[in-house]
């Protein structure tokens, strides 16, 4: 040990120690809970202040109306809309993920796939809904709109994830004699999981929105969209708000389910130190 080293150690020991701040990590749901409480408080204030001519009911009135209507009203409509949204979610995301994979495996089709995705995003889907209703009828427009509202987001997220694969990992697989299929299955698919699930979490509420808009078009006799239309027609404001809350709960449920699956499939994305 040299004299310089001894002097450095002595200097470091002489410096006053700075106490480290202990930061308590808030649970992941804390921010959402605060936001919901803030929205409810704002809602109550607006209702009490008589904003919009007193047409905004208080949260208590809406909740009381929901309990009075009961499961006999909300249950069937909630279930029907959830079924349509789920079918659209599955079909739309299956098509989006398949197309993203094909773009990576067959690069020449990227231009066509990109144009298709942009077309699906820019086309006014409510204009296509009546055409689908006339051609197919039934609940097909509900499933179609739910699928279309999922397609663009999931395709872009999956494609970005597949292209974010670490080049070093790809080179390592190639060095051990792996071909394109090994690179795809062992590196690219794994790297695409986080961004794909991030897109799916956005797609779940979007599917609910698409299903409800499809029910607005008519051709069906049940669903949250149908119940909303009936409540608006009869000027039942508390029930209208109750159905809107049911739609929000369904969208939130879809997001929560996908988020839970994502945490199970990609636990490394939520591990401490995963994000800096």
3-state secondary structure string across the chain: CCHHHHHHHHHHHHCCCCCCCCCCCCCCCHHHHHHHHHHHHHHHHHHHCCHHHHCCCCHHHHHHHHHHHCHHHHHHHHHHHHHHHHHHHHHHHHHHHHHHHHHHHCHHHHHHHHHHHHHHHHCCHHHHHHHHHHHCCCCHHHHHHHHHHHHHHHHHHHHHHHCCCCHHHHHHHHHCCCCHHHHHHHHHHHHHHHHHHHHHHHHHHHHHHHHHHHHHCCCCCCCHHHHHHHHHHCCCHHHHHHHHHHHHHHHHHHHHHHHHHHHHHCHHHHCCCCCC
pLDDT digits (tens, 9 = 90+) for 184-230: 888 888 899 999 999 999 999 999 999 999 888 877 888 999 999 99
pLDDT at 20: 54
CATH code at position 127: 1.10.3720.10
Residue 20 lies in a domain: no
Pick 8 or 267 by higher pLDDT.
Answer: 267
Residue 57 lies in a domain: no
| Whether pTM exceeds 0.75 | yes
Assess whether pLDDT exceeds 60 at residue 69: yes
pLDDT digits (tens, 9 = 90+) for 58-67: 999 999 999 9
What's the domain count of the chain?
A: 1
Pick 2 or 260 by higher pLDDT.
Answer: 260
Give residue 219's domain range. Answer: 80-266
Residue 46 lies in a domain: no
Average confidence (pLDDT) over 145-153: 93
pLDDT at 21: 55
pLDDT digits (tens, 9 = 90+) for 72-88: 999 999 999 999 999 99
Residue 10 lies in a domain: no
Assess whether pLDDT exceeds 80 at residue 94: yes
Residue 53 lies in a domain: no
Average confidence (pLDDT) over 155-165: 91
Assess whether pLDDT exceeds 50 at residue 239: yes
Assess whether pLDDT exceeds 90 at residue 173: no
pLDDT band at 4 (very low <50, low <70, confident <90, very high): very low
pLDDT at 273: 52
Residue 241 lies in a domain: yes
Assess whether pLDDT exceeds 50 at residue 14: no
Residue 16 lies in a domain: no
Residue 67 lies in a domain: no
């Amino acid at each position: 040990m040299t004299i310089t080293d001894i002097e450095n150690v002595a200097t470091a020991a002489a410096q006053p120690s700075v106490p480290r701040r202990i930061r308590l990590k808030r649970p992941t749901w804390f921010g959402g809970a605060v936001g919901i409480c803030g929205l409810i408080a704002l809602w109550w204030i607006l209702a009490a202040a008589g904003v919009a001519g007193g047409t905004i009911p208080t949260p208590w009135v809406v909740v009381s109306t929901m309990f009075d209507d009961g499961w006999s009203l909300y249950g069937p409509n909630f279930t029907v809309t959830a079924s349509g949204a789920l079918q659209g979610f599955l079909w739309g995301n299956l098509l989006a993920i398949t197309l993203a994979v094909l773009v990576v495996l067959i690069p020449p089709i990227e231009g066509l796939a990109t144009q298709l995705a942009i077309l699906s995003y820019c086309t006014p889907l409510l204009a296509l809904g009546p055409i689908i209703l006339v051609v197919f009828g039934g609940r097909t427009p509900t499933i179609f709109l739910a699928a279309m509202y999922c397609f663009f987001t999931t395709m872009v997220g999956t494609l970005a994830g597949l292209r974010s694969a670490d080049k070093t990992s790809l080179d390592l697989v190639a060095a051990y004699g792996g071909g394109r299929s090994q690179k795809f299955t062992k590196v690219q698919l794994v790297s695409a999981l986080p961004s794909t699930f991030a897109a799916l979490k956005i797609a779940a509420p979007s599917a609910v929105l698409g299903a409800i808009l499809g029910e607005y078009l008519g051709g069906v006799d049940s669903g949250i969209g149908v119940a909303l239309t009936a409540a608006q027609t009869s000027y039942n404001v508390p029930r209208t708000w109750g159905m809107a809350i049911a739609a929000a709960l369904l969208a939130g449920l879809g997001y929560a389910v996908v988020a839970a699956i994502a945490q199970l499939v990609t636990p490394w994305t939520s591990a401490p130190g995963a994000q800096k």
